Structures are given as C-alpha cells and as structure tokens.
Amino acid sequence: MERRALWSVAAIVTATAGAAVLPPVAAQAAPAGPARSAAAAAPVNLIKDHGAEKARPNPRGGPVPVKHWTPVRGTSFTAVAYGTHGFPGPHSPGPGHRGHNFFAGGPRGRTSGATQAVKIGAYLSLIRGGHAAFTLSGFLGGEGTRGDYATLTITWKSVHGQVLGHATIGPVTERQRRGVSGLERRTRTGLVPRRTSQAVVSLRMVRTRPGYIDGFADNLSLTISRKG
C-alpha cells in the first residue's frame, strides 16, 4: 500500500510538470505483416503431377492418359508402374522418395513426349525486375543396355508467344547409367528472362533401337525464387 501511494503521488507531481510518467509496461509484438509473397516463400514445384502418380498404368506399359500433360500428337507417351515386367523396379536406381509410377515413351514411334503449361503469374513482378532465378530438375534414365533416353526442357515465352529462352536437363546416357535400368537426377539453374509471361515444360523421349521407347522420367521439378 505504501509503495502504491508513493507512486501515485509521483505521477501526480510529474504530471503537473507536463510530463506524466506511467508505470513500465511489457513490450508488445509488432502487428503481423501481410503474408509473404510467392517469391519470398519456400520454393514451390510448379509442375503438376510431376511423377505421373495420377495415371493408372496398364500391365504392359501401354499408352494411358496422364493428367495435366498434353501428349505430343501421334505419340504413345504414357505412365508405367515401378516393377512392371521389363521396366525399372521399386529398388532400381532412382528417386529415394518415389511414388508408384514414372513417365515413359510408350510402344510406338521413334520419339515421344508431352508438354505442360506452367502457371507463373505469382512471380511476374519478380521476373520483370530481373530477380527471378529458376531451378529445373528431375530423374531421367532408361532400360539396361539400350540407348533410349529422356530430356526435360523449360521454354520461356513473351506475352505474344515469342520464345525468349530455354533450358534442358538430360539425357542420362546408357554409359552414365552403366548399363543398369534406372534413373539419375539432373539439375540446371538460371535466370528467368525479364519479358517472360508464359512458361512451358516439355518432356521428350527418344528411341535408339527398334521396340519400346525406353526413355523414362520421374520426380520432375521447376521452382522460381529470388536470386541470391
């Protein structure tokens, strides 16, 4: 009681002098700012169904629809389940965290593939400022001693569709695989051209001998972030 009374007297006296003194209070946290922009947040994979997990493969590796991907006209682009006879299995070289399926070229033609338009609207201001860095990655490979292979390309386009640049990962050759069926990771980084308004990823498989197009791919990724 005595301390409280003394404080009240001190406050009154000081207030009459024109400078009121208040008891000390705990510091308050600053209000939370707006949510971080897409460019400031952790990088997000912009490729949808990047591992063909939404497809329903058939037992022979034949053509099946793969959601979000548009097959190149006339090709047999498809998805195959790990462990299908004559294809990489769940323990073959490849992603450590893999799903049930992977992309494959299919049974017809010399080449195969598919494309996907990537949504980059959330990054346009970063791109216009010349500060957008990209990382393109994926697991690519083939079957045994066959030389078939796969590549993944990102193409940057202007608002009018003019090609401004591109980057490709792969192929992973039979020699690099040491003649073993499986997939190996490849990565490429760079800057997104400033005038970019559109982006398209293209997956391409090539056959080097008669038979099935044994170019394979899985765990594809494209991220955009602020350059360091």
CATH number at residue 178: 2.60.120.260
Query: Does any domain span residue 176?
Result: yes
Residues in the chain: 228
Measuring CA to CA, which residue among 199, 96, 88 is closest to residue 150? 88
Q: What pLDDT shows up at residue 42? A: 81
In whole angstroms, what is the distance from residue 209 CA to residue 212 CA?
Answer: 8
Query: Does any domain span residue 29?
Result: no
State the sign of the Cα–Cα–Cα–Cα dihedral 29, 32, 33, 35: positive
Query: Does any domain span residue 39?
Result: no
Structural domain count of the chain = 1
How many alpha carbons fall within 13 Å on the CB side of residue 167? 18
β-pairing, 213-226 vs 132-142, is antiparallel
Confidence of residue 38 (pLDDT cuts 50, 70, 90): low
User: Is pLDDT of 9 > 70?
Assistant: no
Could you read off the pLDDT of 171-218 as tens digits, one per residue?
A: 999 999 999 999 999 999 999 999 999 999 999 999 999 999 999 999
Distances in Å between the Cα of 85 and the Cα atoms of 54, 60, 79, 143 are: 21, 8, 14, 12
Query: Does any domain span residue 124?
Result: yes
Domain span at residue 160 reads 70-226
Query: Does any domain span residue 41?
Result: no
